[in-house]
Amino acid sequence: MFKNFLLRRSVEVTPAPQPRLSPGRRIYAIGDVHGRLDLLDELLDKIAADGAAREPAQTELIFLGDLIDRGPDSAGVVERLATLSAANGNMRFLLGNHEEVFLSVLSGNYEALKFFNRIGGDTTIASYGIRKGDYAPDDFFEVLDLLRMAVPDHHVAFLERFEDQIIDGDYAFVHAGVRPGVPLAAQKAEDLRWIRHEFLRCDRPFEKVVVHGHTVTAEVEIKSNRIGLDTGAHASGTLSAMGFESDRRWVLQSTLREPVIA
């Protein structure tokens, strides 16, 4: 009798639907590049090959921010993507915290330059051809003048067009994360580019599944409410991307085991 009661009480559970992209769309989201032009070029080749092997779809590449700093060729990364973006028109870019600081430096912010150096900006300065021997140690005003002369205007214009967030279907693409409990439309730019612990510790569903970079993990991190794609390319030698189409997702990576540590 007790067994029959249990059988009568059983309830069929329907699995939760997988998040979906808008119909007819394919997106490749790319994690933090951080000056690794070598890894970027390899990953772009893999994305092109992957897309060619699939059915035709409206395809877009979304870069999650932090193209620059720490790695050896930030200037090369910016030049490559500015050129490809102008030619292809299927790329979108999120403003990372490193681009935010860089733009502040280029606007003449002396205090931002001191902070920029502490977060790996010294490698970006070097990538624009400014060597440490070209200026006096700790003469930030001189560095500022040299950098503003060295960075091409089209690089600045390219970076200034970067976005805060991109929504498609059941996904929200941002650089760092979102503030829990705040609607996506009301998120502050500061949180979208800088938030960490409050976002990462939240296990409740967000308004959309959040796809982000900013926080380094050894592997692509897939949670029910978020997906992290920053695998520390500048130091690990692995740059990660994820493809999205309908309710499907897949990972692409470029790996060169010669880490560059800033």
What is the DSSP track for 71-92?
SS-HHHHHHHHHHHHHHH--EE
* Cα 169 versus chain centre, distance: 19
Is residue 3 a part of any domain in this protein?
no
- pLDDT score recorded for residue 110: 87
4 within some domain? no
**pTM for this predicted structure:** 0.91
Domain count, the chain: 1
Find the domain containing 109 and state its range. 21-255
H helices of 107-259, in order, are 110-118, 121-127, 140-150, 153-160, 189-194, 197-200, 233-236
Q: Is residue 221 part of a domain?
A: yes
Question: Does residue 198 surpass a pLDDT of 90?
Answer: yes
Note whether 125 and 147 are within 8 A (CB).
yes
At 56-73, the pLDDT tens digits run 999 999 999 999 999 999
Instruction: Give yes or no for residue 259 having a pLDDT over 60.
Output: no
pLDDT tens sequence across 92-148: 999 999 999 999 999 999 899 989 999 999 999 999 999 988 888 678 889 999 999
The CATH number of the domain where 110 resides is what? 3.60.21.10
Q: What percent of the chain has pLDDT over 70?
A: 91
Whether 251 is in a domain gets the answer yes
The answer to whether residue 9 is domain-embedded is: no
Does 211 fall in a domain? yes
CB atoms within 10 A of CB 185: 8
